[in-house]
A = this chain, B = another copy of it.
Amino acid sequence: MRVEIWSDIACPWCYIGKARFEAGLAAFAHRDEVEVVHRSFELDPKAPPASDVPVLDMLAAKYGVSRAQAEQMEARVAAAAAQEGLDYRSDRIHGNTFDLHRLLHLGAAHGRQEALLDAFYRANFAEARPLGDPAVLAELATGAGLPADEVARVLADPDAYAQEVRADERAAAELGATGVPFFVIDRRYGISGGQPAEVFRQALERAHADGVVEIVPAGDAEVCGPDGCAVPGH
Contacts and interface: CB of A to CB of B under 8 A. Distances in A.
Interface string A160-204: 000000010011001110111100101111111111000100010
A62 interface: yes
8 contacts: A76-B231, A176-B211, A179-B224, A190-B212, A192-B218, A193-B221, A194-B221, A194-B222
Contact of A110 (B109, B226, B228, B229): B109
Query: Chain copies in the assembly?
Result: 2
A165 to B, nearest CB: 15
Interface string A10-43: 0111101100000000000000110000000001
A8 interface: yes
Interface in A196-234: 199, 203, 206-207, 211-219, 221-226, 228-234
A2 interface: yes
A1 interface: yes
A192 B214 CA distance: 8
B232 A63 contact: no
